[in-house]
Chain A
Amino acid sequence: MCDQTFVAATFGPCESCGKASPLMNIYIKTEAINYCSFCVEMMACKGLQEGETVASLKKESESLKKKLDEERGKLSDIELNQVAEKVEVLGPLCIKTRRVLKGHGNKVLCMDWCKDKRRLVSSSQDGKVIVWDAFTLNKEHAVSLPCTWVLTCAYAPSGCAVACGGLDNKCSVFPLSLDKNENLSAKKKSVAMHTNYVSGCTFTSSDMQLLTSSGDGTCALWDVESGQLLQSFHGHTADVLSLDLAPSETGNTFVSGGCDKKANVWDMRSGQNVQSFETHESDINCVNLNYYCQLNPFVSGLCCCMFTGAPQCRFYDLRADREVAIYQKDSIIFGASTVDFSLSGRLLFAGYNDYTINLWDTLKGTRVSVLFGHENRVSRVRVSPDGTALCSASWDNTLRVMSWSTMSNILFYTQRKGCCILRLFSL
């Protein structure tokens, strides 16, 4: 397309592409358009501007939204918990706290497991990021960041690095070395740069790429080595509070949840928002809106924690493109801020602001168990990579590692105890 010469009265950022260039000031149906000449050409070729005004576009978007709701409604032929009636009820689960990790000086905001199933990294409001060995309670590494409120941290798939970010608007990667005396802060690499706080980060399938979500309303994919922005994801109209990546075998999808009450599903390669879920809460009288989302292992289900007037966790199925279950109870009045699925996706752990963790049967929609122990709100729950333990981080400055056994194991223990007592008596 060849550019025409024209007399430019103004120079500035084009209202269409944003690049600074000489602008053509034209009027379409009394609305002033200040585009650079390239964008005017594009407009003319697309032929979209014929009679297009804000009002007509608004009408079209309303009708599309209605059509979307209709289409989704058509598929709702049965409820998930009705289909799951034939599934057997779960036996009683015994979940006990096995380890309490103490060491942070302030609220623990985030944690992540290493793929070796024993190490984990946690970040806190005190500005510290600590790498723990959960078996031995050993603190293997500790880094102090210059800013407080390290909102997010992630372990690299290789186990050789950790990423963390927060109010400093950046996400930095620290390579972990075996040398204890090495100063980790010196090897810090700033990878992601946002224009507002970084709320979530995760490595993709390798150590080389980092996905971040930010309070500036965008998510971004970065190359760790060069710090280059590979792809950015625009679509949220408010702060993005969390993100979750699909397991690498199932493709390049991730989901992000934001303060605009929406969970968006993205294609990582194209940057396109492929699906979006919104709740229509009519009575929103809350001060704090928490929106956290987590993909289930099968990546057909997405669970979102919504805290509005009525605290609930909603389960959306990506293939049915609608909500299929709500996990709620009248007795639960505090919102959940974090969720994670068990390895098979059958069970859902949700950490609440009333200091408890509730365990839900995802298929039947019933609550299986409540876990107590924390003395302040639970900020993050994560099941270990092999499914044998759950780690929960809390505003009470600690992390708890919980593990489970079935009833049969408990019977085994009591039998052994009985044996010992008999022996004593026989003496």
Chain B
Amino acid sequence: MSSKAHSSNNIAHARRTVQQLRIEASIERIKVSKASAILMSYCSEHARNDPLLMGIPASDNPFKDKKPCTIL
């Protein structure tokens, strides 16, 4: 009984795999060059908004260390 159940599960599993692969094979793809161009343009567009690339003025940085000038 267990071997019969195993083989039926194999069929169900195999059928699911085939259906999944059919879906994946049919999706629309674009070329890597085009995808890279899109990635690059997105990055350059948003680089202005990225504090890591633009730097944070010390006055705005919420995490800056507050050091009083003790010499004066």
Contact = CB atoms under 8 A, between A and B. Distances in A.
Given A78-B33, A87-B44, A344-B47, A98 B55 contact: no
A425 B33 CA distance: 61
B11 A342 contact: no
Task: Please list the 10 inter-chain residue pairs (A to B) with the smallest Cβ-Cβ separation, ordered nearest first.
Answer: A406-B55, A57-B14, A344-B50, A344-B46, A64-B21, A98-B63, A83-B36, A320-B35, A403-B63, A343-B50
A300 B34 CA distance: 12
Interface of B: 4-5, 7-12, 14-15, 17-18, 20-25, 27, 29-40, 42-47, 49-58, 61-65, 69, 71-72
B56 A388 contact: yes
A275 interface: yes
26 contacts: A15-B12, A31-B4, A54-B10, A71-B25, A77-B31, A78-B36, A80-B32, A80-B36, A87-B43, A117-B62, A135-B63, A274-B27, A300-B42, A317-B32, A317-B39, A319-B29, A319-B30, A320-B32, A342-B53, A343-B46, A363-B40, A386-B51, A404-B51, A404-B55, A409-B56, A424-B71
A287 interface: no
Given A57-B18, A297-B46, A363-B40, A404 B62 contact: no
Given A343-B51, A424-B71, A276 B24 contact: yes
Nearest to B41: A298
B55 to A, nearest CB: 3
A322 interface: yes
A389 B50 CA distance: 11
B4 A34 contact: yes
A56 to B, nearest CB: 9
A409 B55 contact: yes
Nearest to B70: A420
B32 A409 contact: no
Given A387-B51, A420-B69, A272 B63 contact: no
B23 A76 contact: no
Contacts, number: 199
Contacts of B5: 15, 34
Contacts of B21: 61, 64-65, 68
A343 B24 contact: no
Contacts of A78: 32-33, 36
A52 interface: yes
Q: Is the interface of A mostly helix, strand, loop or mixed?
A: mixed
B50 A72 contact: no
A321 B29 contact: yes
B42 A345 contact: yes
Nearest to A297: B46
Contacts of A93: 52
A387 B10 contact: no
Interface in A404-419: 404-406, 408-409, 412-413
Given A77-B33, A301-B39, A319-B29, A403 B64 contact: yes
A72 B29 contact: yes
B37 to A, nearest CB: 7
Contacts of A134: 63
B50 A342 contact: yes
Of residues B29, B39, B42, which shows the largest number of chain A Cβ atoms within 10 Å of its Cβ?
B39
A16 B15 CA distance: 11
A406 B54 contact: yes
A367 interface: no
B40 A84 contact: yes
Contacts of A405: 55-56, 58, 61
Nearest to B36: A83
A32 B52 contact: no
A374 to B, nearest CB: 18
Contacts of B47: 344, 346
Contacts of B62: 117-118, 135, 388-389
Nearest to B48: A344
B20 A273 contact: yes
Given A80-B39, A274-B24, A300-B38, 17 more contacts: A15-B9, A31-B7, A31-B8, A32-B4, A34-B8, A57-B18, A67-B25, A273-B23, A298-B39, A317-B36, A344-B49, A344-B53, A346-B43, A363-B40, A363-B43, A388-B62, A388-B63
B8 A79 contact: no
Nearest to B37: A83
Contacts of B18: 57, 60-61, 64
B61 A388 contact: yes
A389 B32 contact: no
B15 A15 contact: no
